[in-house]
Structure 1
Amino acid sequence: MTSYAIIIIVAVLLSSHLSVVVSGSMEPAFYRGDIVATENVQTYYGVHEFDPYNDVKVGDVVVYNAEWYPEPVIHRVIGIEDINGSKYYLIKGDNNNVADPYLVTPDQIRAKVITINNSLLVIPKIGYITIWFRGL
């Protein structure tokens, strides 16, 4: 019985740190159906893992709530702007020709993709099951 509880706890902890890629906008960094490992602004259990106001830099790949798309978007920060004392991020998919249509506030950022030795932490292809179930 205890081992089941441990498995459930580990699964909940891991699931809050994994995001499924639903488009090809970040190819070749990662592909549709891949899963990226993230550190979160706030986890389900109330822990703040990073501060989107101070811990996001140009080159980071973030997960954010876009004004222009109903699902969270996973794209790269390509610029940081200060407009009237407020911080904004310019964000773009690596495989897109233009930046995302709106500047992003730190409050919109939910997570940052984990990098190890300048490589994104990606689990290839196993996210297709989730994409299929969600009809994306």
Structure 2
Amino acid sequence: MDFMTNAKKYGVRAILLQGLTFLSVLTSAFMIWKGLSLFTNSESPVVVVLSGSMEPAYYRGDILFLNNGYSPIEVGEVVVYKLKDKPIPIVHRVLKVHTQRETGEQFLLTKGDNNSADDRGLYNPGQLWIQRDEIIGRVKGYVPYAGMGTIWMNDYPQLKIGLLGTLCVLSLFSNE
């Protein structure tokens, strides 16, 4: 239907109400995300596994729930870290931990379960260890394959545009 026809049929007030409802849903989702970030002490409390480097522990498309507590990280824990100048976080297992005696600062060496070598090749040039402040969080739980929609939308941008467009149109012209 034409926008002007709908505007006359439902009235400008009804269309504005639908727009405000849509904005309140977006705002609520943002507030929930920020609340979870505060509660988990993680900038990203939920991430999707994007590669097969952690198989068989986690597969591509698994959703991971993170917590970034203050207790020391131990060998064997699965962490998500983000390097400076690299936009995508990495999900790998802690292979070695080095703690400075004077400061108590931790330095970590990581490796994907399905990789043959440690992550030093992924780190920034000259970097041998991950610092504690580069850790986004520790994996505390997961839902298998629940993030495949995110991967499909990244692999096929047309799908993302079509889905967002459809949601916008449905939210604006819905009777409820």
TM-score, normalised to structure 1, is 0.70
Question: Hey, which of these two has a bigger chunk of helix by percent?
Answer: 2
Matches within 5 A, 1:1-136: 8=29, 10=32, 13=35, 16-40=44-68, 50-51=69-70, 54-66=71-83, 69-82=86-99, 87-101=106-120, 102-114=128-140, 121-135=141-155
Gapped regions of structure 2 (runs ≥ 5)? 1-20, 38-43, 121-127, 157-176
Q: What number of residue pairs does the alignment pair up?
A: 118
Task: Output one character per residue of 1:84-133: Cα deviation in whole Å (capped at 9) or x when no partner.
Answer: 9653101000110010014201111011101xxxxxx2201111111122
C-alpha spacing 1:67/1:12, structure 2 compared with 1 (3 Å): closer
In the alignment, residue 114 of structure 2 is paired with which amino acid? Answer: N
Going by fraction, where is strand more abundant, 1 or 2?
1
User: Larger C-alpha radius of gyration, 1 or 2?
Assistant: 2
Greater relative contact order structure (CA < 8 Å, 6+ sep)? 1
Q: Separation in 2 of the partners of 1:98 and 1:112?
A: 21
For 2:106 and 2:34, the matched residues in 1 are separated by 33
Root-mean-square deviation (Å): 3.1
Amino acid in the other structure paired with 1:17: P
With normalisation by structure 2, the TM-score equals 0.56
- Kindly, what percent of the aligned residue pairs are identical? 38
Q: Which amino acid aligns with 1:92?
A: K
Please give the alpha-carbon distance, in whole angstroms, between the structure 1 residues aligned to 2:150 and 2:48: 8
Using the alignment, how far apart are the partners of 1:55 and 1:87 within structure 2? 8
Identify if the C-alpha distance between structure 1 residues 132 and 88 changes in structure 2 by more than 3 Å, giving closer, same or farther.
same
